Amino acid sequence: MKAAIVMGSKSDYPVVERAEKILNTFGVEYEIRVISAHRTPREAEAFASGAEERGVEVIIAAAGKAAHLGGVLASHTVLPVIGLPIRSSVLDGLDSLLSTVQMPRGVPVATVAIDGAENAGLLAVQILSVKYAKLRRRMKDFKADMAREVAESDEAFKNI
């Protein structure tokens, strides 16, 4: 099982790092790259076109501002692409979100919240868990742990 994380700029890494942590937690192998949809479009095409051959099964594309990276990658592969809009401009990330989510018919990019790196990582794990039972079990445990934490918090407040 292998994922790829592609960011449009090295300045995106402080956010992307949180998706990386999720993949590490679940034991998902990944490659990580800096590729710009606008400044290195040929590299973006080559990366996406060759991803499946390299064993990649899901791609997280993190980009800010014009944020076309997810769409460019999705246009060159049949692999699922998860868009991670990065807050990086005077529009507080709204430009990134809209650029990522507004894809034309036939070029889907699943999109998480602005700076929603943890959910990008978790969505990648869930996509992979369709194929890998071990990940599916770990995801079920993860969700059960979250529910348990909420129940414990609720119980603590009931006793106040």
Strand partners, 32: 5
pLDDT in single tens digits along all 160 residues of the chain: 999 999 999 999 999 999 999 999 999 999 999 999 999 999 999 999 999 999 999 999 999 998 999 999 999 999 999 999 999 877 999 999 999 999 999 999 999 999 999 999 999 999 999 999 999 999 999 999 999 999 999 998 887 7
pTM for this prediction: 0.95
Q: Confirm if 37 and 10 have CB atoms less than 8 A apart.
A: no
Residue linked to tokens 């603590």: 156
Please name which of 113, 102, 26 lies closest in space to residue 71, comparing C-alpha atoms: 102
Q: How far apart are CA 72 and CA 8, in angstroms?
A: 11
The predicted structure's pLDDT at residue 159: 74
Distance CA 98, CA 82 (A): 14
Please give the CATH topology (third level) of the domain spanning 2-158.
Answer: Rossmann fold (3.40.50)
In the block, tokens 């590299």 appear at: 43
- Rg of the chain on CA atoms, in Å: 17
pLDDT at 90: 77
Place of tokens 């990582």: 121
